[in-house]
Amino acid sequence: MSDASLKTMAGHRELKAGHFLIEFNTPGIGYILKQATCDFAVFDTEHSGYGIETVKTVMAYMRAADMPTVVRVPSREYRDIARVLDAGADGVMLPMVSTAEEAKSIVHSVKYTPVGGRGVILRSAHDRYTAGPTLEKLAQANAETVIFAQIETAAGVENVQQIAAIEEVDCLWIGHFDLSCSLGIPGEFDHPLFTDAIAEVSSACRATNTSLGRLAPDVASSIEFHKQGFDFIAYSADAWVWGDAVKAALGEIRDGCR
């Protein structure tokens, strides 16, 4: 487990192991992940139904536990990006990034002047309500806030070299189901079209020293993905791990009580 910031972790290609949150938003969730030795968490608002008030509350839990957290937002729109950052997210994960122009638009929404055009509010959740000189605060936010661009379309793979070359993009994240669908092979993760696409993205990340991440369903897949060049690996998601563990335990109980 690392105690580094999300930005520091994105600055190197060593393994960072974390977890997806799609269902649990308990006040103890940050501490639970911390004791589980997670390096980072992904809080999913694209598919979970979580709203901005929940994001703000959970980010306070995460910061109390020193658990670096990237929020997966439902769109590349400014309103979705800026609100979760103002609520205290350490970074954002953006869906369906297919061109360098889209990535540059994301940078504009994430970063303050002079790098971007994000609207400014200070002494709020994102800067932990602290005072300070405006220029220093803006520079600090620009330096610390991370961008995870999801590569989950055929066009994203085609343009991945240009996307990865954008300095402010910290990590390319494979959206494996959507990418397989875009390639015309839904769920066929061993298909040459899919494996070739992964190799293309991995090559672009190596060339630009950009981090590469994805969700892994199990331990064996996590290890294999790391061999393929992935350094941000999110092991499963809260609801799936919990459901599988309870099901397995109840099965053992029933077998033992026969």
Contact between 163 and 169 (Cβ < 8 Å): yes
Q: Which residues are catalytic?
A: 47
Tokens encoding 207: 């060339």
Burial annotation 197-228 (CB, 10 A radius, 16+ → b, else e): bbeebbebbeebebbbbbbbeeeebbeebeee
> Which pair of tokens denotes residue 201?
């993205």
Strands 40-44 and 211-216: unpaired
What residues contact residue 211 under an 8 Å CB cut-off, 6+ apart?
A: 9, 10, 13, 16, 170, 171, 172, 205, 231, 232
